[in-house]
Chains A and B, each alone.
Chain A
Amino acid sequence: GQNIDQPTEMTATEGAIVQINCTYQTSGFNGLFWYQQHAGEAPTFLSYNVLDGLEEKGRFSSFLSRSKGYSYLLLKELQMKDSASYLCAVRDSDTGGFKTIFGAGTRLFVKA
């Protein structure tokens, strides 16, 4: 089976840096995604990691350690519009294909 854990809520200040952690357990790991979701909207893709290390994309970076079953999403120079839920998702290989399982999400509040 699969298990994905991430903090329920986090609060940070505009202009600061925040790190959202995610730990996972899966039988057939095939990649980890981070998505951003604003209330009432569908998730939007942020990052993808399949090998260990850091992937940087503008203000957003994502890190993966497969041996530790651990990832984090790093957001720099926080803006008010970054207030949203951040979903950690793991793609798991299954018989005949793959499926992506989502964590419960971390609600980030950015304050002025």
Chain B
Amino acid sequence: GAVVSQHPSRVICKSGTSVKIECRSLDFQATTMFWYRQFPKQSLMLMATSNEGSKATYEQGVEKDKFLINHASLTLSTLTVTSAHPEDSSFYICSARELAGVHNEQFFGPGTRLTVL
């Protein structure tokens, strides 16, 4: 199946700093990428839908100025958590949809565990 990578896999930062997470589709083009957040023992919560070359669409309750999303190419989307605080500590997972896929299924990256001290 298609492969989606994320970098970094794990990051620890101080409160107030910004953290950038990269999501890449390695062997396919993804015009749409999704960013999810998952707290312990909870399901994935969709944060935003990222479309190549246009502004991201944020879900209700997600601050677009805090979670900056850039989707500059068909294989790369980035999520920047600005002025991170301890409550932003979570597992962030990106997903990319392969348009040429059989089911238009979404492939998930391995996730980035963010810990804000």
A binding-site residues for B, Cβ under 8 Å: 31, 33, 35, 40-45, 48, 50, 87, 91, 96-105, 107
Residues from chain A with a CB closer than 8 A to the CB of B42 are: 104-105
Residues from chain A with a CB closer than 8 A to the CB of B25 are: none
- Distance between Cα atoms of A100 and B43 in the complex (Å): 12
Q: Nearest chain-A residue to B6 (Cβ)?
A: A42
| Residue interface bits B99-110, CB-to-A below 8 A is 1, else 0 | 000011111111
Of the candidates B51, B103, B104, B110, the one whose C-beta lies within 8 Å of that of A41 is B110
If A41-B111, A99-B34 touch, whether A48 touches B43 (CB-CB below 8 Å) is no
Q: Nearest chain-A residue to B1 (Cβ)?
A: A45
Q: How far is the CB of B21 from chain A (nearest CB, A)?
A: 13
6 nearest CB pairs, A to B: A42-B108, A48-B103, A104-B43, A102-B44, A102-B43, A42-B111
**10 A-B pairs (CB sep. < 8 Å):** A31-B104, A33-B106, A35-B108, A41-B111, A42-B108, A44-B108, A45-B105, A48-B103, A87-B44, A96-B57
- Distance between Cα atoms of A90 and B43 in the complex (Å): 13
Tell me the total A-B contact number using a CB cutoff of 8 A: 53
Q: By the criterion CB–CB under 8 Å, are A100 and B46 in contact?
A: yes
Residues from chain A with a CB closer than 8 A to the CB of B75 are: none
Q: How far is the CB of A59 from chain B (nearest CB, A)?
A: 18
- Distance between Cα atoms of A43 and B4 in the complex (Å): 12
Residue B32 is within 8 A (CB to CB) of chain A in the complex? yes
Residue B30 is within 8 A (CB to CB) of chain A in the complex? no
Q: By the criterion CB–CB under 8 Å, are A43 and B44 in contact?
A: yes
Residues from chain B with a CB closer than 8 A to the CB of A105 are: 42-43
Contacting A at CB under 8 A, from B69-117, are 91, 93, 95, 103-111, 113
Residues from chain A with a CB closer than 8 A to the CB of B41 are: 107
Contacting A at CB under 8 A, from B8-37, are 32, 34, 36
